[in-house]
Amino acid sequence: MNMNITKILLLAFFTTNLLYADIIASDWLRPNSVPTPYDNQLSDKRIELGKLLYFDKRLSSSNEISCATCHDPKLGWSDALSKSIGHDGAKGPRNSPTIINTAYQEHQFWDGRVKSLEEQALGPIEAEVEMNMPLKKLIVKLKNIDGYVKLFKEAYPESDITKETLAKAIASFERTVLSTESPFDRYVKGDEDAVNKDAKDGFKLFRNKGRCTDCHSGFNFTDGSFHNLGLGDKDKGRIKTRKGVETSTGEMKTPTLRDITKTWPYFHDGSVKTLHEAVAICGNGGRFTDAKNLSHLIIDRDLNIDEIEKIVAFLRTLEGKDLDISIPTKFPR
Ligand code: HEC
Ligand code: HEC
């Protein structure tokens, strides 16, 4: 072989391996600043008000359901149910996602049908299968609680209690629900002892052979995009409109993997109980390889049991301590 070509090949080989060996901490660490809309800057008053609203069951028509019923801080800000249970025991169509790091997401919901947390917050209040509370009624209810009138005035002096300020306050609180430092974070910062060998191997498999980073990339382990994993249910997922015709893609938003140990069961339909099974589905070609609209990135990566075990060991290192917040026990009167 020509010497130059050999050199080029050797160089290519080493740089590829270096790229894989090299972990750039900033690729994996949560940025300190949280994206915030210009017309709803964070303030302590807004966050505190939003927190009260988030945990206040009076936001539901039955006075029994709050946001925390389905996004419970003790259950990884989810509910440990395959599908959510809301007003009068109604079963929702999907699994409740965690709200950790939703502040960084460009799309909310499994199908990404809304963008901002402000847009998202009012949906569950009105939804019949969630809190079943017409917003007009709720605004009247809140205006009759003197404590809330005062707190809204302090948080949003320019405005009355409206659905906009209600949504803004809740969104402000959600922007403080963030992942905390995990063993993985300490590892990428250079603490070699923060995780064990299996987890390190697992992280490599996650990036190389498993190709998980094709979709679970960055500090929040999501590309913010939508993919169909061939789970074989009837959920329409993301709807695409072409020439006025709506078509279902079955695509769902790539979920975060932060605190993934706390947020079982998995997938939009809550059909998977263990991380092993979730990894096998994602890594080895989806649940049904002949599913309609299966993502072209879902390919059988031929991960064996030992490799799946290592990826799971890595995923476990993404668990941080529970966020240190005081959960309100007294609400405005
Ligand atoms: C009855 C259970 C239930 C209640 C109550 C509830 N949610 Fe949810 N929440 C869900 C489910 C289920 C989804 C996913 C729905 C979907 O994707 O179609 C969701 C999605 C979300 C998301 C999007 C997360 C993501 O990653 O896409 C946010 C944010 C959220 N809820 C916040 C709230 C807030 C704030 C409240 C209170 C005002 C609330 N939820 C009340 C069940 C609930
Ligand atoms: C084509 C993009 C893509 C690739 C590649 C991919 N995933 Fe996923 N992953 C997703 C999507 C999308 C979901 C949610 C699917 C759904 O619920 O319909 C998901 C769900 C998961 C879940 C469950 C999360 C939850 O909260 O329910 C885990 C765990 C997971 N993936 C791990 C992995 C691992 C490990 C790999 C590599 C072996 C991988 N994924 C490869 C897109 C991908």
Rounded to an integer, what is the distance from CA 42 to the centroid of its chain?
A: 21
What's the chain's average pLDDT?
94
| Cα gap 153→171, rounded to integer Å | 17
Catalytic residue among 130, 174, 307, 319: 130
Measure 95 CA to ligand 2 centroid, in angstroms: 14
Find out whether the peptide bond into 265 is cis, omega within 30 degrees of 0.
Answer: yes
Contact 254 CB / ligand 2 (< 6 Å):
yes
pLDDT at 19 over 90: no
What's the pLDDT at 20?
A: 45
Amino acid at 255: P
Q: What is the pLDDT of residues 174-227, one digit of tens each?
A: 999 999 999 999 999 999 999 999 999 999 999 999 999 999 999 999 999 999
Q: Whose CA is nearest to atom 13 of ligand 1?
A: 96
Range in 11-15, 70-74, 284-288 with the lowest mean pLDDT? 11-15
What's the pLDDT at 319?
A: 98
What's the pLDDT at 12?
A: 57
pLDDT at 14 over 80: no
What value does the CA radius of gyration of the chain take, rounded to a whole number of Å? 22
What's the pLDDT at 13?
A: 55
Q: Whose CA is nearest to atom 29 of ligand 2?
A: 278
Contact 170 CB / ligand 1 (< 6 Å):
yes
Label residue 151 by pLDDT band (50, 70, 90): very high
Whether the CB-CB separation of 170 and 67 falls below 8 Å is answered with: yes
What's the pLDDT at 16?
A: 47
pLDDT at 285 over 60: yes
Q: What is the pLDDT of residues 295-306, one digit of tens each?
A: 999 999 999 999
Range in 17-21, 123-127, 147-151, 275-279 with the lowest mean pLDDT? 17-21
What's the pLDDT at 22?
A: 75
Contact 252 CB / ligand 1 (< 6 Å):
no
Q: What is the pLDDT of residues 21-53, one digit of tens each?
A: 579 999 999 999 999 999 999 999 999 999 999
| Cα gap 63→50, rounded to integer Å | 17
Burial classification of residue 48, based on how many CB atoms lie within 10 Å of its CB (0-12 exposed, 13-18 middle, 19 or more buried):
middle
Measure 60 CA to ligand 2 centroid, in angstroms: 33
Catalytic residue at 130?
Answer: yes
What's the pLDDT at 18?
A: 45
Contact 70 CB / ligand 1 (< 6 Å):
yes
Give the number of C-alpha atoms closer than 13 A to the C-alpha of residue 97, restricted to the C-beta side.
Answer: 20
Query: Which two three-digit tokens encode residue 277?
Result: 């099974």
